[in-house]
Structure 1
Amino acid sequence: MITTKQLYNLYLQYPVISTDTRKIAPRSLFFALKGDKFDANTFAKQAIEAGAAYAVIDNGAYQLGDRYLLVEDVLTTLQDLARHHRRQLTIPVIGLTGTNGKTTTKELINAVLSQHFKTQATQGNLNNHIGVPLTILTIDTTHEAAVIEMGANHQKEIELLCSISQPSHGLITNVGKAHLEGFGGIEGVKKGKGELYDYLASHSAENKIAFVNSDDAVLMEMANARDLQTVIYYGNNKTNSLISGIIVENAPLLTVQWTNNKTEENYTVKTQLTGAYNLSNILVAICIGTYLNLTAAEINAGIENYQPKNNRSQIVQTATNTLICDYYNANPSSMFVAIENIGKIDAKRRVLILGDMFEMGQESAAEHAAVIRKAMDTPVDERIFIGKDFTAAAEKTGDEKTNRFYLTAEDAIADLKANPIKNSTILIKGSRGMALERLVELF
């Protein structure tokens, strides 16, 4: 069987990784990964015929010649290859995780750093045990910085991803109620996300840098409980933070005033983001840029030019409405801050359209009821809930009498077609599986 070092020598000659025979890059290394419904060993011959230089397999029955590299386990080999490659890199690698805002924060940091460095960053949300090693293996000698997003729905996943990406700098965006079923409750979430701080603390001899939101009591507690060598703070508190900032406009796009507390200089940046909850994401991007010696002009250019996509805090202006499209994912924490935000937006008429939250486990009924109560307490003109979990929670509390509840998106679409909403600012938020993008054309 081929060793990691032998495989790495081949990777240096063929530094492109393919995992899908429908998209084989010429002269690439094909890794025959297994899925729930397929075994890519069976596609190794097809990959070679499509132009791959070598195929990495873990089933000897498919080894048809010297270009078929047999290993014990293809996924483990991919991860080991990425670890080995990462050890050759001397650039700043910023690793981040958190319950909410990971992808937006990753993209903001990348937008800022790319004003000064040639950067590489996680594409989309390819932030798992396959996506992270694939991203690491796209970093070459021309890159000067990298931003790696790490996601998890169980404990020990961030520990694994840190062992692969080996971040020199790290941050946790926040810790909230998401994937409660997999993590085993909120304390499990804290432990799982805290594995990033654990990694930085355990490698303190290498002077790992942690960026911590000084306004977040949970993150401060988690950081203080660990022996982190260097901590850089950001937030509203000017005393302890390298960067502090406030929102000066939310209508619905954010304008932020920020201060470099080292030089005591103030700056204003107009963003293309909505949501007061994005302030901390903006500030940490500014903080990292400042720490890595970017100018304020470079930092502001990165923030101003970043356009949200993938249905995350995305503003869509129609002929009659302003839509806040935030239906890539949802959990109780992100629901609460999104609902709070629309209550603060300067708008003539505000409407909430909320879809069910998934992966809540035994907490599902209580968390959906809590979101309904939060919506009821928020100054909006209309509240619409979609999904069986919201409907069931409303039936127990009697809230179905004062708001509009629909079991399915199809039910909601039919009613909204008959009773269209106009001249409103509308938040559309729900878990990805609800597919709430189907509602957009109605407005």
Structure 2
Amino acid sequence: MDGGEMRFRVSVVRDDCLDRFLRVGSGGFGQIFRARHTLWGTDVAVKLLHYKEGSASSAQREAELMFDAGNSNVVRVLGVYEGRLGDPQRPLQCGLVLEFLARGSLEDLLQRLAAPPPCALALRMALQVSLGMNFLHQLTPPILHLDLKPSNVLLSDSLDAKITDFGLSRVAENVCKYTGVNDEDEGGTLSYMPPEALQSSSYKPSKAFDVYSYGILLWSIITGKEPYSGVQSSLVRFRIPLGDRPDLASVDCSETEGLDELLKLMMQCWDQEPHRRPSFLDCVHAITAIYTMHARRLNDDVHDVLEQLQDDEICSSLRSVQISRKPHREVDPQDLSCVTGPAPQQETAAAYTETVQKECSPRAAPPVGAIRKTQRQTSNPAVQVSMSNVFGVQIGNNNSMNITQKPRQRHRTAPSAVNTHSSHPQNPPQKHQ
């Protein structure tokens, strides 16, 4: 500090080095954009903040605090953003520049799987979140998250978990201007808030606040569900201080080794009394012991989930594709054909029907502790694909695709054809005597 001027280590990022702004989400603190940093040669996330005029320095001080949180299990803060999203007509806005994680959040993953993640992957996520939170709590001064939930846990390409939005509660105190939240948003936040925070408006947050939220987060990972789903926020606010917690009836501890110990830790984390909750260091030790029992299956679990996510992405792009069986001997010699090899071995238990519509409902992930069993059968390599507005699609290797040009067909909603011979002005209709 020189002459009373504060020097910041966090750089200010402006529009002159950002390109390709794309809105990817929003939250209570503002909108989130994906952008390309032309000098760094990488994509970044720009989190805009609802802020009062003249508060950019406050955001920079908070970014400086978050910049100190350099850990592999927390999202890195790369700088402070000041700009107009590349549009001179927009007002000047302030925000944070963060590393961009393309896999989205844990909340997104749970929704896409419609089930809990496989055992080893679920335990690794739980361990990584506890490691990240323990790091934040061990800083001097400690950083309290105060909004730990699945949407604030982001995933890398290999599904490693990283905590985001830590410290933004302090940013909100200084620079955020709330315009109000609806009951749904409030209910989502209330689900992860401890009872003591709901009982008094003068409550002063502590580390135990985050530990309680972590206990609810563990429940979401184990069950793949959102706590108190469909319950009004006013009832959630009323019942949590009375001791209500997410339902454990659907969790079968006999299916997975160590799951009973994980449930015990989870209930300790959401204990009614803050002083009885464990520290995050205690959580790290407990989950490490459980994760070690299943770590050998991690690569298979990650591969299975990534494969399912890829299948869902392919499926969503082929919703209108018609697939029908067609033996080789029926292929017209004039058809365009591309044969890449013998019939492949595919993991499936279904046979071809004469004409089928490709279904795109997401596959349910196996329950925690389930052992994968696969049936293999040989698929017919000759498949006819009828498409519209595309040249061709090939999925997988070692298969053949026959592409046939067909005449255009009139859509059922189009008007009937016009008789050009009877209506053309040069050929008036003949009158018959």
Using structure 2 for the length normalisation, give the TM-score.
Answer: 0.25
The two structures have a TM-score, normalised by structure 1, of 0.25
Q: Which one has the largest radius of gyration?
A: 2
Q: Structure with the greater relative contact order (CA < 8 A, sep ≥ 6): 1 or 2? A: 2
More helix by share: 1
> If each structure's strand is expressed as a fraction of its own residues, which one has the higher value?
1
